[in-house]
Amino acid sequence: MSKEIEKKWQEKWKESKLFQSDHDERKKIFLTVAYPYPSGAMHIGHGRTYTVPDVYARFKRMQGYNVLFPMGWHVTGAPVIGIASRIKDKDPWTLDLYENVHKVPKNEISKLEDPEYIVKYFSTEYHNVMDDMGYSIDWRREFRTTDPTYKKFIEWQIKKLKKMDLIRKGNHPVKYCPHCDNPVGDHDLLEGEGVGVNELTLLKFKIIEKNDNDTNKDNGDNINTANNVKYLVPATFRPETIYGSTNLWLNPNVEYIQVTSDDSENGTNGETWVISKESFDNISNQIKDLKILGDIDPETLIGAHIENPVTKDHHPILPASFVDPEYGSGSVFSVPGHAPADYIALEDLKNNKELIEKYSLKDIVNKIEPLNVVTIKKYSEIPAKDVIERLNVKNQEDPKLEEATNELYKVEHSKGIISEHIPIYSGERVSIARENIKKDMISKNQATIMYDFAEHPVICRCGTKCVVKIMDNQWFLKYSDEEWKDETRKLLRNENIIPAEVRSNLEYYIGWLEDWACSRRIGLGTKLPWDKQWLIEPLTDSTIYMSYYTIAKYLKDINSEDLNDAFFEKIFFDNDINIDTIDKTQLNSIGANIDDFRLKVDEDIINEIQNEFSYWYPLDWRLSAKDLVGNHLSFHMFHHAAIFPPENWPQGMVVFGMGLLEGNKMSSSKGNVILLSDAINEYGADVVRLFLMSSAEPWQDFDWREKEVVGTKRRLDWFFEFAEKIESIKMNKNKSSLDLSNIERVDLTRKIDLWMMNQLYIRINDATTALEGFQTRKALQDSLFLLKKDVDHYMYRTKHLLEDPDEALIFVLSSILESWIRILSPFTPHSCEELWAKYGGEGFVSEAEWPIKYQYFPMKCTPTLNLKVDSCIPSEVIEKSEEMVQSIVKDINEIKKIVDVTPEKIHVYLAPNWKWMLYRIADDVGKPDIGQIMGRAIGENIHDNKKEIAEVAKKVGREMTKTRYIGKIDEYEVLSDALDFISEEVGSEVIIHKDNSYDPQNKARNAMPYKPALFME
């Protein structure tokens, strides 16, 4: 299919406004897919995401629904700011990405220094490529999230949430580049994409003067001065293990420093902390005014003691090379009872004579015994030892150590109970005690919170190591609010989720989500109305925008200043706000003024917009990729639950898998992508669509493999050839070309014609059911691959007719083509329009009816639109009859092969009536119970010869487990009808016998229902 032809149809659809959907009397379907963030060119992964809703929209339109499929551009957020500044800085990696991966023309590159231009450039590009793909989008509703009208919509909803007390203020850790002085997203990173930020508890261990300590009274340095107490502050995931602490690890090969600050809220409280030099950047971004007091030699600390902040026990400081200076604060407190790494490190140290000697640790180390904190079934008091021994971990360097650590962490977290001898918390589950202990220690100034990356390093594109920075006075959406969670759960219960297994993920995330920082310092977007130094972050400004599509086409003609709270309240809830009843004291806190509650838009326009919204809402389907389940899709549910009444809650959700390219993960930043525009130029939009829809179901990962794409192209070419073939058969017959809108109907009598129509019905029926559930792959299996197999079979069976076709054949072939173009048109709309027009179809096939309702089928059924399609049962008799013809041919040819002669005549004997009766009785009995079958057969007196009944009953018993009984069929009629075909296939004369008057070798007695007996001579 040439690009010109595809373009032609796109123009025609546009001219006739085919996909502009306005409210009317018909039933509606409103579906949306996550709008793209256009910071780069569209690749084939995006192609799948947007083709699925298009196929469904086209399918539903053909079923008679009024379908709305809109599109917008999510241009808010910070990534483009970073991209723009890197382009300005002529960063080679970024320039290469935009020139060679995103293929931006040279003369445009410098314009991308403006972030607004980036989103304008790529949203235009997306729009064009979506047109090239033939998407049936109502473009009148297109918008960007920086449009003034959209910003008013966002302001309204954030004010509403604030008023509902679902937003609070607090501090928030972000990934941050100290050099760029900006928060960074995954787009901005050179290394560490997707690395999470962990919350750790930083525990304060007071350092005891060496000569203070009764266990080790040597002449060490006086470490603490009277009023300057120093602390080592190891950070941990597991503050509850403080009760099992036996020593502290310090790395003698690392530089340590002393720091302090006056931050009273979250800091050192004027204490002096000893931390590694490498951890300073991170910690100083979390604790205000952290000052370096000077270096400290770790050697002077080793062998000294610290005081456990909770138990007040004294523990020695010991040397360990495994301590990572970058993680936490560069020291580790040791819990050998429950941390396999500590257990093995202690064993290693005990065996390291050199170190023991160097720091004179012999007495100290030998005294250390692991302590128990947590009790777990099937583990001893010292679970770390159990795991180390079971996994045979040899030393600290053993790779199995990580497995041991992970296992114990998981088991203790999920099944551990705080042991009896631990005060206060004994009997509590570890997961609960952990939080309680942490809170308690923080309140007593024994601990504080710090944040660190889950993995190191995280490096900005500028080359600087990133840190976790605490942003003050941040605004949060209160997703932890239990009432809000409950409403959201209610919403989820009433929603269709495809695939079904995603439901439990959504349930999990609704429970798991904590308060979400919804404001940012930099980026494009809408300002918080009550605190204008903040911008609303991009996941927060894209939660209920589906409602905005329903009204977007009207807003273009309205002054954005008039789109105030009064307007949106009226449109969405028909709320008339009485100015007098407004609590004026609240206005300031939500950043509103009284004028925002005065309706400024004309009433008739309001009515029109209201009608449009209430017609399309609720949303029928929300489509999105699976990586958005835990954020966007969950937020989408939360916000609908908070803002809209239940009758306007979303009805369904479809979650997509990801895209692979020749088996590898697609990634623009790694250059591993194929641009959708390139794929269209190479293969045509229809081939791309067909491949994307047929290679995997939407929720499965798909793999773009060039070889298979080429195969898909051949399929589509074959379809065109098939249409041409039918046209030429028709021309041969009556010198007139195909006219799909005037197919001359013929009453079919030939079994094979009935069979073909029956198969056509089955395939359409199955494809319809599949498409209802978004199974695009299954739908194409049925409607393209299996139907093609049926058609191949039919053409083979009727090959002797093709030279001189009769009316029935013409009718069947035309009907197939006519239906086939319709079913394929959601998948390959351009090709189908072209064929439809070429062979006389009326109007656009995109507007034609879905081919279940009107088609002539030989079966008794009256399917109607919106009726369950399975109310029409395809004919089993027709299927079985063709099966019989095929198996007779197969049986004869197999016997011929065995005996290796070509018989002149082949005699076919059919089962007598009493055998059919026996089969029916067996079917009634329902199992191969020969005694029972025999009993009933004799009772019904079906046959005189009991011995024969017994013989056949045994056969039926065997047969019935393989062959389904569907009632008696007229085998004589079926085989006679196919006699020409059978004779030709076996190369002999075939005689069907109604009785066994000629049966020289007594073969007729072998005949069984559906399985005639054969005799060759």
Structure tokens at 714: 């051949």
Task: Decide whether 75 or 462 has the Cβ nearer to Zn ion.
Answer: 462
178 binds Zn ion (CB under 5 A): no
Structure tokens at 263: 């931050």
Stretch that binds Zn ion, among 179-187, 271-279, 548-556, 987-995 (CB under 5 A): 179-187
Task: Decide whether 460 or 528 has the Cβ nearer to Zn ion.
Answer: 460
DSSP labels for 297-351?
A: -HHHHTT-EEE-TTT--EEEEEE-TT--TTSTTSEEEE-TTT-HHHHHHHHHHHH
Q: Where are the alpha helices (DSSP H) in 624-684?
A: 634-643, 676-683
Task: Decide whether 3 or 179 has the Cβ nearer to Zn ion.
Answer: 179
179 binds Zn ion (CB under 5 A): yes
Size of the residue set binding Zn ion (CB under 5 A): 6
Stretch that binds Zn ion, among 457-465, 747-755, 810-818, 909-917 (CB under 5 A): 457-465
Task: Decide whether 179 or 367 has the Cβ nearer to Zn ion.
Answer: 179
- Tell me how far, at minimum, the Cβ of 81 lies from Zn ion, in Å: 12
Stretch that binds Zn ion, among 164-172, 175-183, 214-222, 849-857 (CB under 5 A): 175-183
Tell me the C-alpha to C-alpha distance, in Å, between residue 111 and each of 85, 88, 89, 507, 894: 11, 9, 13, 45, 75
User: Can you tell me the distance from the alpha carbon of 680 to that of 792, in angstroms, rounded to the nearest whole number?
Assistant: 30
- Tell me how far, at minimum, the Cβ of 468 lies from Zn ion, in Å: 14
Residue from 78, 87, 174, 177 touching Zn ion (CB under 5 A): that is 177
* Cis peptide upstream of residue 79 (ω within 30 degrees of 0): no
User: Can you tell me the distance from the alpha carbon of 371 to that of 921, in angstroms, rounded to the nearest whole number?
Assistant: 76
Q: Which residue has the tokens 């008057």?
A: 997
Phi/psi for 907 (5° steps) reads: -100, 135
81 binds Zn ion (CB under 5 A): no
- Tell me how far, at minimum, the Cβ of 95 lies from Zn ion, in Å: 17
Stretch that binds Zn ion, among 211-219, 453-461, 739-747, 1005-1013 (CB under 5 A): 453-461
**Mode of pairing for the β-strands spanning 272-276 and 230-232:** parallel
189 binds Zn ion (CB under 5 A): no
Task: Decide whether 460 or 767 has the Cβ nearer to Zn ion.
Answer: 460
First to last CA, the chain: 55
Task: Decide whether 115 or 234 has the Cβ nearer to Zn ion.
Answer: 115
Q: Name every residue whose Cβ is closer than 8 Å to that of residue 257 and which is 6 or more positions away in sequence.
A: 274, 275, 276, 277, 280, 292, 293, 294, 295, 296
459 binds Zn ion (CB under 5 A): no
Task: Decide whether 180 or 872 has the Cβ nearer to Zn ion.
Answer: 180
Residue pair 55/620 in contact by the 8 Å Cβ criterion: no
- Tell me how far, at minimum, the Cβ of 94 lies from Zn ion, in Å: 13
Residue from 232, 404, 458, 460 touching Zn ion (CB under 5 A): that is 460
Stretch that binds Zn ion, among 172-180, 282-290, 767-775, 842-850 (CB under 5 A): 172-180
Phi/psi for 198 (5° steps) reads: -100, 145
174 binds Zn ion (CB under 5 A): no
180 binds Zn ion (CB under 5 A): yes
Count the Cβ atoms, other than its own, within 10 Å of residue 744: 10
Residue pair 208/307 in contact by the 8 Å Cβ criterion: yes
User: Can you tell me the distance from the alpha carbon of 189 to that of 461, in angstroms, rounded to the nearest whole number?
Assistant: 5
Task: Decide whether 175 or 230 has the Cβ nearer to Zn ion.
Answer: 175
Structure tokens at 196: 């999470």
Q: Which residue has the tokens 């949106």?
A: 568
960 binds Zn ion (CB under 5 A): no
- Tell me how far, at minimum, the Cβ of 522 lies from Zn ion, in Å: 13
190 binds Zn ion (CB under 5 A): no
- Tell me how far, at minimum, the Cβ of 460 lies from Zn ion, in Å: 3
191 binds Zn ion (CB under 5 A): no
- Tell me how far, at minimum, the Cβ of 452 lies from Zn ion, in Å: 19
Residue pair 142/556 in contact by the 8 Å Cβ criterion: no
- Tell me how far, at minimum, the Cβ of 91 lies from Zn ion, in Å: 11
Task: Decide whether 177 or 290 has the Cβ nearer to Zn ion.
Answer: 177
- Tell me how far, at minimum, the Cβ of 280 lies from Zn ion, in Å: 18
Structure tokens at 234: 């190891």
Residue from 258, 311, 352, 464 touching Zn ion (CB under 5 A): that is 464
3-state secondary structure 480-549: CCHHHHHHHHHHHHCCEEECCCHHHHHHHHHHHCCCEECEECCCECCEECCEEEEEECCCHHHCCHHHHH
Residue from 301, 317, 462, 767 touching Zn ion (CB under 5 A): that is 462
Task: Decide whether 180 or 502 has the Cβ nearer to Zn ion.
Answer: 180
- Tell me how far, at minimum, the Cβ of 467 lies from Zn ion, in Å: 11
Structure tokens at 548: 């905005």
Stretch that binds Zn ion, among 16-24, 431-439, 464-472, 479-487 (CB under 5 A): 464-472
User: Can you tell me the distance from the alpha carbon of 403 to that of 558, in angstroms, rounded to the nearest whole number?
Assistant: 62
- Tell me how far, at minimum, the Cβ of 783 lies from Zn ion, in Å: 52
- Tell me how far, at minimum, the Cβ of 86 lies from Zn ion, in Å: 10
Q: Is 168 exposed, middle or buried (0-12, 13-18, 19+ CB in 10 A)?
A: middle
Stretch that binds Zn ion, among 20-28, 174-182, 922-930, 933-941 (CB under 5 A): 174-182
423: left (phi over 0), alpha (psi -120 to 50) or beta: beta
The footprint of Zn ion on residues 790-829 (CB under 5 A) is none
Task: Decide whether 91 or 348 has the Cβ nearer to Zn ion.
Answer: 91
AA letter at 388:
I
Task: Decide whether 182 or 634 has the Cβ nearer to Zn ion.
Answer: 182
708: left (phi over 0), alpha (psi -120 to 50) or beta: alpha
- Cα of 730 vs its chain's centroid, Å: 47
Stretch that binds Zn ion, among 169-177, 697-705, 794-802, 956-964 (CB under 5 A): 169-177
Question: Which residues make up the interface to Zn ion (CB under 5 A)?
Answer: 177, 179-180, 460, 462, 464
